[in-house]
Amino acid sequence: MALSEHEQRLLDQLEQQLHADDPKFAHSMASDTRRSMSTRRLVIGSLITIAGILVLLAGIVYQNIFIGVAGFLIMGGGVYFATTKSKQVEAGQPLGRPTKATSGGKSGFMSSLEDKWDERKRDQT
């Protein structure tokens, strides 16, 4: 379900405020396709794993333990390769949007929310 324009603006303002208030937390929560698993690594790792299975089966057919162990190691290497991230991705640019420096500490959006909250408290008492 798509967000309305107003909801999207509010979400963007909340995100900017989060980046301004706690950039370390915002950085850790940011979703970035560069940090997710690479499809290319997944495909190559799967192919290596399949090759390892074939080598393992060849070891069983020829009743040679060394070929079987080699096939098992190849399978393990393929799974490891498929499930890890490349070093280039981990050493990439920092994640998240660049934050704007806030003057006065609070943005207009957050201060208006606080004002509404204070007004509700005053109305209740």
In-domain check, residue 46: yes
Q: Looking at the domain assignment, is residue 7 inside a domain? A: no
Residue 80 domain flag: yes
Domain count, the chain: 1
pLDDT tens by residue, 45-97? 999 999 999 999 999 999 999 999 999 999 999 999 999 987 765 555 444 44
| pLDDT of amino acid 34 | 54
Give the total residue count for the chain.
125
Find the domain containing 48 and state its range.
36-85
**Other Cβ atoms closer than 10 A to 71:** 20
pLDDT of res. 95 = 47
pLDDT of residue 4: 81
Q: Of 73, 48, 69, nearest to 60 (Cα)?
A: 69
Domain-located, residue 67: yes
- Residues 67 and 58 sit within 8 Å (Cβ to Cβ): yes
pLDDT per position as a tens digit, 6-37: 888 888 888 888 888 888 877 777 765 455 67
| Domain annotation covers residue 47 | yes
Q: Kindly report the pTM of this predicted structure.
A: 0.47
**Is residue 103 included in any domain, yes or no?**
no
- Which pLDDT belongs to residue 101? 44
